Amino acid sequence: MVPALTLVCAFSGRRARIASMTPTTFSVRTLGCQMNVHDSERMAGLLLDAGYVPVADVPEAAARATEAGDQGADIVVVNTCSVRENAATRLFGNLGQLAAVKRERPGMQIAVGGCLAQQMREDIVAKAPWVDVVFGTHNIDVLPVLLERARHNNAAAVEIEESLKVFPSTLPTKRDNPYAAWVSISVGCNNTCTFCIVPSLRGKERDRRPGEILAEIQAVVDAGAIEVTLLGQNVNSYGVGFGDRQAFAKLLRACGEIKGLERVRFTSPHPAAFSDDVIDAMAETDNVMPSLHMPLQSGSDEILRQMRRSYRSKKFLGILERVRAKMPDAAITTDIIVGFPGETEEDFQATLDVVEASRFSSAFTFQYSPRPGTPAADRTDQVPPEVVTERYQRLIALQDRISTEENEALEGTDAEVLVTSTAGRKDGSNDRISGRARDNRLVHVTVPEGGDVPRPGDFVTATVTHGAPHYLVADSGLTGGTFSVRRTRAGDAYEAEQRAKEAERARPNAVGLGMPRIRR
């Protein structure tokens, strides 16, 4: 039984909203990696399941959005990242902006979760006392309870767990769109890279059983998804926890047996554990896409050793060679850190040499920033910032040249594009729709006048007419060239979702009161 006092307090805290029949709205802001995106979908699912309403579904609430990023919501959740040095600075800058909004919005609550919350804990409230809730990476499931506790006690609720209690993928989910889904296969990381804080915040690697993963994939496919991305800090070490080192390759092949699943991707693997059985599974499974994100970090063997990255440049290049031998059209992306402590000009040149040889389609490049609590942060041989910046600019110039050359080489070829609901920068002024090709390149496609307009979740095929460093343009439909649309059940699901939202908004007093549900 739930104590009557709890019910009274929860009710009294919402009295004004109940009187005006307005809901309690929420927004979730995501900073960081794909795992954070996955976790944010779980946070949104928990809040939705607890009776709160996405602010985007309440136009009168969304209309009061400010430049602080609150989106007009009553509950603002910030899912943080701690990978970059300025992560804390950015967070507290944003929290400062939200404080001003909170003063003008009675009953507003601010919650901070994610890796930085796991790291800083009570210090977040000490520095930003207007924050109501702090929770970590291991206890996403308690978010609704902590919000109610903070409201009831009129005091910040801080709760951090040292190890995972509930696997995030078992929690309710509100996905950003119905046509694509993130599915976590593992959490945590067993590596000890000297620059990375993630293992201490996410914990040791824990694998889900294959049956659980495949059941979740089947569920999202049944709900309309046609693309799934498998997530883990090191996906190709999946299975070590239950004694099957080929489990990831088997999982990829099993995905190929799921009817209606058209595209499978995964991120991120680790070069040290990337094996030929995974390459074979990728090449031989029709719905596994020819795209691979393979983090390099540095092309210098000495720097890789100091990073505790258990591979060297020769092994890395060998992986790319074997991937391209089996999948000639594969697009390979990477991560690179510039200015790791002790990096010499010779070390940096080695990175440039490997980048030149690798021919990445794109690269996520970072200037090294020390993270407190990591071995690299304590080193006294930090590279001067001006040197790091100069090297970084040289790397960017090299990769932009390579990306441009690789994309220009695709001019005249056809691209099958899964249309997304997020418009690219080229869309508004050019009446283009955007999406991802099979190799995960961003493609902007022009719909010819009178042509069939694809919905998010549909496929469009067009000929690439221009290759730029960061995207492709396919304007073939303008001149009578290739342009075809394949409508999908994912597009049907998107359209049905939009119709349902419009119908709900049109109904008077249709939105719930935002009262939390009582669990026994």
189 marked as binding residue = yes
CB 467 within 8 A of CB 407: yes
**Structure tokens of 87?**
């992560």
193 marked as binding residue = yes
CA end-to-end span of the chain, whole Å? 7
> What is the spatial distance between Cα 458 and Cα 167, in angstroms, rounded to a whole number?
32
**Structure tokens of 172?**
């309710």
Detail the DSSP E strand segments found in 216-316: 227-231, 263-267, 291-293
Question: CA–CA distance from 442 to each of 122, 401, 422, 434, 451 (Å)?
Answer: 41, 17, 11, 7, 21
**Structure tokens of 475?**
């304007």
9 marked as binding residue = no
What residues are paired with 263 via a beta bridge? 227
> What is the spatial distance between Cα 76 and Cα 26, in angstroms, rounded to a whole number?
6
CB 121 within 8 A of CB 155: no
What residues are paired with 366 via a beta bridge? 337
Sheet containing strand 157-159, strands side by side: 53-54, 25-30, 75-80, 109-114, 133-135, 157-159
3-state secondary structure 197-245: CHHHHHCCCEECCHHHHHHHHHHHHHCCCCEEEEECCCHHHCCHHHCCC
Q: CB neighbours of 201 closer than 8 A, spacing ≥ 6?
A: 82, 115, 118, 119, 136, 137
Which residue numbers belong to the known binding site? 33, 81, 115, 189, 193, 196
Which residue numbers belong to the known binding site for [4Fe-4S] cluster? 33, 81, 115, 189, 193, 196
